[in-house]
Structure 1
Amino acid sequence: VSGLGIGQAATQDAVQRLPPAITLAFAPYGADVTRLAARAREAGHEVMVQAPMEPFDYPDNDPGPQTLLAGAKPAENVDRLAFVLARVPGAIGVMNFMGARLTGEAAALDPVLREIGGRGLGFVDDGTSPRSLAREVGRKAKVPVARAEIVVDSVPRPDAIDRELARLEEAARKSGFVLGSASALPLSIDRIARWARDLESRGILLVPASRALRQPS
């Protein structure tokens, strides 16, 4: 679940209501993000940091002042990534915030992923861009990369979210493992919390996102 750390109420709701096995990804811009991420770790959640990345309609759609840009020099993107990582100490990996353009350009993405891997971290693609090359670039760079196969709340309605959660469960039964993503909308948090209550009785085990980074390709 991504987008934590911006709205304090939604962040606290996610930390308290979602099972500890659900990984929480924090945006770097919240005023109190370091403390909120620490609270999430204390509650048993694995924590990631979201790196703002260039979308196709940038700068009309602007992820923020530390955005990693497809046309920037690699050193500049690495510096911006370092700033982002410093905001959430203890993060086990990086997740994109927007980024359809950057993740679709291998030459720009490669040094970013290599820096992430060099720090002993992995990268999780939130699955929102069909053009993302993250897994292919990560494989060549020998950096752990995982991609969400189902975006649970791409249509933010209760019935649509419930339908995608059911699809996530079905995919897990078929393949043995599936990674899903969602944003920290109050509605999403509520539907996921309800869905997760009796998962184990249905034979499904929740595991943190780092498990996806250890999956064989």
Structure 2
Amino acid sequence: MSKSQQNQFKRWPYYILAVVSCFTLAALVFVLTDHTSPKKAEAITEHRAPVHIASLPYEERLDAPMEEGVKRIDYAILRALQNTNVSTSGIKLVSIKQQKYGDEIFHFQQLHINSQYSAQELIKPIAAALVQWSDKATLTKLSDAVYRVALNDVETHLLKFTQNTKPVVPAKDAATLDIGGHLTIVIDDLGESISAAHSLAGLRYPVTFAIWPRASYPKEIAAIAKAASREVIIHQPMEPISADAKPGPGAVYVTMTPEEIRSTIRTNLKLVPGAVGLNNHMGSKFTQDRNAVRAVAQEAKKSGFFVLDSVTHAKSVFFDEAKRQGLVAFRRSVFIDNVKEVQNILHQLKKAERIALAKGTAIAIGHPYPATLLALQEWEKQRNKKVAVVTLSELLDF
């Protein structure tokens, strides 16, 4: 064997090692590279998403499909009109009526859209938006100018269109000139953002601060509320139906004994200075349990608190049981920011106004989202002055 052949024979293990290394590197690259096809974007965005601060507990999805569906329809209509450059002054909520669907309460609405466009020009984008945001909604033509929207075959909206080439001037609502109403706005989930508290304190009308008792800054935010003469209540975490929704520290659960529930509530009531009532954070499971909410009501009664049922489930007995225990009790009318978009929040505030005018009183609940804070500031400029904004305590007088 020649010397050259001997050298090649000695080098063959290195050739094999190089080949194996190449195959190993190729396999590693394949594994680390995502070869799956891209996922399609969801057509419908998440509603009632959590506040984006790591220390905050998650919100649960409101267990009220009809109410959520109506608000999606609201959003679809408003978004379509906005994208078609219809002036907000030309979109008028003419009337609102409380309706029942199974165990749920929802609000039927009649809208008048007055713009430079014909009904036929506006219906196409509205229909497309309904498909995107509420695929169970149906749109029916009643006449050239009137259309009906239904959800689960139940009428939710009546749309009337008028075309006007002249600039739209907001008209006075003759139907409500001699009617008064009182509205309370409650902002939940306070306790983490000092800046949000200052923003709410700076509004020219009163809002009720609902503060998490075991948040980072309950005392500081209660002090901001007190300095601005804002009413404060405890935002009490309660057990939701979904195990994925975390109510946060200081929560009460149906598996607790009545004394454990009372002890937890007793501790929480001491953590927010100046509080005069409480409402539930989450609680879709807890508020359906009469024995559980009875224990909460009994402890609240000892401190002279009132109770606000946020109605996170259609079968909540929190309001009824609090009344049975002799407490002053209230029940939420509207959530204003299930969809966190300024125009939609303004529409929900107008809906709350209409309920107050029709029933005498209404309670709207929102959250310290940036869009909500902006909408509350904008609402001050355009709100119906025939609706007085009052605290929950003041609502007792009407």
TM-score over 0.5 (shorter chain): yes
1:135 offset after TM fit, Å? 1.6
User: C-alpha distance in 2, partners of 1:127/1:197?
Assistant: 29
- Correspondence for 1:14 among 194, 200, 203: 200
* Partner in structure 2 of residue 42 of structure 1: 227
CA–CA separation in structure 2 for the residues paired with 1:142 and 1:215: 17
DSSP-derived class of the 1:154 partner: coil
The alpha-carbon distance between structure 1 residues 189 and 180, as it changes in their structure 2 partners (threshold 3 A), is same
Is contact 1:22–1:209 with CA below 8 Å preserved after alignment? no
The one-character-per-residue Cα deviations of 1:108-133 (angstroms, maximum 9, x if unpaired) are 11111111112100111223322211
Gap regions ≥5 residues in structure 1: none
Aligned partner of residue 57 in structure 1, secondary structure? coil
Residue pair 1:20, 1:44 contacting (<8 A) in 2 also:
no
Report if the CA contact (8 A) 1:148-1:180 is conserved.
yes
State whether structure 2 residue 272 is matched by structure 1 residue 88.
yes
Q: Secondary structure at the match of 1:195?
A: helix
What is the aligned length?
Answer: 212
Shift of 1:12: 2.2
Contact residue 103 and residue 134 of structure 1 kept, 8 A: yes
CA contact (8 A) 2:240 2:286 kept: yes
Match of residue 32 from structure 1: 217
One-letter amino acid of the structure 1 residue matched with residue 188 of structure 2: S
CA distance in 2: counterparts of 1:65 and 1:203, whole angstroms = 41
Note if contact 2:236-2:251 (Cα within 8 Å) is conserved in structure 1: yes
Following TM superposition, by how much is the alpha carbon of 1:66 offset from its aligned partner in structure 2, in angstroms?
1.5
For residues 66-105 of structure 1, the aligned pairs below 5 Å read 66-105=250-289
Match runs of 1:202-213 below 5 Å: 202-212=385-395
What secondary structure, in the 3-state scheme, does the structure 1 residue paired with 2:361 have?
A: coil
| Aligned residues of 1:171 and 1:177 also touching (Cα < 8 A) | yes
The answer to whether 1:173 aligns with 2:357 is yes
Work out whether residues 189 and 210 of structure 2, in 8 Å CA contact, stay in contact via their aligned partners in 1: yes
Structure-2 residue corresponding to 1:195: 379
Which amino acid letter does the alignment assign opposite residue 3 of structure 1?
A: D
Shift in Å at residue 43 of structure 1? 0.7
Contact 2:334/2:352 (8 A) holds in 1: yes
* C-alpha contact 1:20 1:45 (8 A) present in aligned 2: no
Distance 2:273 2:252 in 1: 19
Q: Which of 140, 143, 165 does residue 327 from structure 2 map onto?
A: 143
Helix, strand or coil at the partner of 1:63: coil
Q: CA deviation at 1:198?
A: 5.1
SS at match of 1:163: helix
With structure 2 as the length reference, what TM-score do the two structures score? 0.51
Alpha carbons of structure 1 residues 189 and 127: separation in structure 2 relative to 1, 3 Å: farther
**Letter of the aligned partner of 2:324 in structure 1?**
K
**Higher RCO, 1 vs 2 (CA within 8 Å, ≥6 residues apart):** 1
* Residue 52 in structure 1 maps to residue 237 in structure 2: yes
Compared with structure 1, are the counterparts of its residues 97 and 19 closer, same or farther at alpha carbon in structure 2 (3 Å cutoff)? farther
Deviation (angstroms), 1:185: 1.0
Distance 1:20 1:36 in 2: 18
1:40, 1:47 within 8 Å by CA — same for their partners in 2? yes
Q: Which runs of 4+ in 1 moved over 4 A?
A: none
Amino acid in structure 2 at the alignment position of 1:64:
G
